[in-house]
């Protein structure tokens, strides 16, 4: 049986930055992707949360 996930996310964690990519359902059955990159400071990580 094949399992499909409706919402997924991936993280790329580096020493100076963190990149997150999310794919969520969009209008018309299409997928919407959003990518954000932030610094790894405490304040920036709080915003990413």
Predicted pLDDT at 47: 82
Average pLDDT, 10 consecutive residues per value, the chain (49 residues): 91 93 92 93 85
Going from the C-alpha of 21 to that of each of 2, 4, 24, 48, the distances in angstroms are 23, 18, 10, 11
- Say how far apart CA 37 and CA 19 lie, in whole Å: 4
Does the pTM of the predicted model rise above 0.95? Answer: no
Query: In residues, how long is the chain?
Result: 49
């Amino acid at each position: 049986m094949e399992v499909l996930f409706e919402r997924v996310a991936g993280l790329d964690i580096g020493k100076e930055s963190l990149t997150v990519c999310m794919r969520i359902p969009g209008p018309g059955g299409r997928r919407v992707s959003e990518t954000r990159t932030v610094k790894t400071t405490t304040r920036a990580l709080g915003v990413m949360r």
